[in-house]
Amino acid sequence: MEMKARRQKKMLEKIKIKTTNLSFANQVMLGGGIVCLLFMVFGFATAEPLKFMLGVLVGGVCSILNFKVLQLTLEKSIKMPPGKVPGYLYTRYMLRYLVTGVIIYIVIINPWINIIGVLLGLIVTKVSIYITEFFLTKERFPKGNVKDQKNKKGGSKN
């Protein structure tokens, strides 16, 4: 039992899933909601703002839920026996993309939702990840870059 707990702890450290305060995953989901709202405001500049905003909303919700399901899948796979993990991850991967495909198909045949808005909504988590990482990197290295930090600690002989 102790080896299994140690293995799980080691795997958690490798993929750095935080479960306290506002974890990276929660920051990404919150940021995704904010980016989604910003894209929706951009919708006022389009010919059909309501259709565009609805598209961004549908795509954003789909993207954020997809990200949450991915997080839960990874957390559950860490606790599984190693032999079952690949099949479980593959099945969950296919289900997530099947659901995304069905949503895109419904949007394409639906005249009330703008497909460009949906596509923008589907990338909100990616944009949120880039923004979150940018700010986390600034927190870790407030002055200069990584190379400058190593030089200050005596890591380089120039």
Can you give the pLDDT of all 158 residues of the chain as single tens digits?
A: 566 667 666 655 555 544 445 688 888 888 899 999 999 998 888 889 999 999 999 999 999 999 999 999 999 999 999 899 999 999 999 999 999 999 999 999 999 999 999 999 999 999 999 988 887 777 666 665 555 555 555 554 54
pTM equals: 0.71
**Which pLDDT does position 158 carry in this prediction?**
46
**Which pLDDT does position 13 carry in this prediction?**
59
**Which pLDDT does position 11 carry in this prediction?**
59
* CA-CA-CA-CA torsion sign (85, 19, 96, 134): negative
Q: Cα dist. 41→34, 35, 59, 113, 148 in Å? A: 11, 10, 15, 16, 40
C-beta of residue 116 within 8 angstroms of C-beta of residue 52:
yes
Pair of tokens at residue 12: 């958690």
Cβ neighbors of 113 (< 8 A, separation 6 or more) are 51, 54, 55, 58, 107
Phi/psi-derived region of residue 11, left when phi > 0, alpha when psi is between -120 and 50, beta in every other case: alpha
**Which pLDDT does position 3 carry in this prediction?**
66
CA-to-CA distance for 38 and 45, rounded, in angstroms? 12
